Structure 1
Amino acid sequence: MDEAGRGCIIGPMIIAGVIVDEKIEGILKEIGVKDSKMLSREKREKLFDFISDFAEAYIVNKAYPEEIDSNNLNDLTYMKIIQIIYASLPFQPRVVTIDKVGNEEIVIEKIRELGLKDNVVYEADVNFIEASAASIIAKVIRDRIIDSLKKIYGDFGSGYPSDPKTRQWITEMYEKDKNNPPPIIRRTWKTLLKIAPNYHISKGELYGY
């Protein structure tokens, strides 16, 4: 499993799980499956189709901005991952490989409860073909969602807070309406304090402390 869009200020985070038979790991390597960040969008799209054809299955979960704002991001990521693990059980997986984020104990405990082997490590998307495949699935699906959102809200760039185009778009939205941000913005991101302060909501405000 892997995710795409954790650090974005716009749009959902996508979590994907890919169920891979060991017999096809070599095929996936041969066709160029690797961490999605190392691939062009065109290559990711092609590999998406190959993975769809060769994998036993893939499972996708989503976390939308309001949900991300209302939860600890690492806890939410693992909650979504656990949901994918349960959804994968009919395929009888043996090993669960996850690109580690934060304190992994909660997900490791759940994996072991289910009688599965845990492989929760940093850079799993670089070092394990199944996580690389999941990173491609997650990234392609998020890219497609972002394309759809741009048709509604205009071109906001990559959606990452470091992207000048994204920051400019938020600034323009703020100038039009300082009190009603587009629902695709994650309102707890601190970037907003500098460019759109009225849009920002702290976790404390949401949790009531």
Structure 2
Amino acid sequence: MQMPLICGVDEAGKGAVLGPMVVAGVSCRDLSAIAALGVRDSKQLTRNRREDLYDRIRSICTTTVFVLSAAAIDQARETVTMNLIVARGHAAVISTLAPTVAYVDACDVNADRYRETVTALLDPPSSCQVIAEHRADSTYPVVAAASIIAKVTRDRLIDALAEECGPIGSGYPSDRYTIEYLSDYIGRHHAPPSCARKTWKTTIHLLESLGQRDLCSFF
């Protein structure tokens, strides 16, 4: 009897102010093979280790990614919440992989509600069992594997942005290099760069504070 197809889903870059969000899905029938790789939540691994595991995961699993640019996130946020945007990404990769069971890292405070949301978004409607839990990337190796695929993919996209724009850091508001880049760009251009999420509070506050500073210097 063939083992069921299981997938794990996670994302990277949900809270970033610069760059895209990447949702990744990893599917396989032999979960022990993934666990044997020594996968962990991507945030607990060095970049070199993530890169090594990225290749190993892709050699034994089917993977897919869904990339949403900063501009696409801003546009979507005009009508829906960020949690729904993430849920759509999760549903998209599950729909592509068509597993029997999907484990997802819940991004809603109510994990059961998030499970119901993702299930309703599957296209076409599927009999796939969706299991949503908080910190699923620490509980299920298949979700940890997805977190690694998502993180490595996003890291590479950020590297490409840095080659184009200069040193932008990790893209997260907690990164001083990201804030320095964003502040400097807004100060010089009076508008955020194309790689910034314009609907983010970080961007809005910088625009407001720099605008007030310019106004004070004018008077």
Aligned equivalent of 1:203: none
State which drifts further: 147-156 or 117-126: 117-126
User: What is the aligned-residue RMSD (CA, Å)?
Assistant: 2.0
Match of 1:189 among 200, 212, 216: 200
Matched, 1:159 2:174: no
Matched AA of 2:179: R
d(CA) in 2 for partners of 1:84, 1:172? 37
Matched, 1:50 2:62: no
Q: Retained in 2: the 8 A contact 1:167–1:195?
A: no
Aligned equivalent of 1:75: 84
d(CA) in 2 for partners of 1:196, 1:68? 19
Match of 2:40 among 14, 18, 34: 34
Describe the superposition over 1:99-151 as per-residue Cα deviations: whole angstroms up to 9, x where unpaired.
0012412213456x511212111111110111110000000000000000000
Matched, 1:64 2:69: yes
Q: Retained in 1: the 8 A contact 2:196–2:203?
A: no
Equivalent positions of 1:17-166 (< 5 A) are 17-21=25-29, 23=30, 25-55=31-61, 57-70=62-75, 71=77, 72-89=81-98, 93-102=99-108, 103-104=113-114, 105-110=116-121, 113-166=125-178
d(CA) in 1 for partners of 2:145, 2:210? 36
Q: Shift in Å at residue 98 of structure 1?
A: 0.5
Q: Could you tell me which runs of 5 or more consecutive residues in structure 2 were left unpaired when the two chains were aligned.
A: 1-8, 212-219
Q: Retained in 1: the 8 A contact 2:88–2:121?
A: no
* TM-score of the aligned structures, taking structure 1 as reference length: 0.86
* TM-score of the aligned structures, taking structure 2 as reference length: 0.82
Number of residue pairs matched? Answer: 193
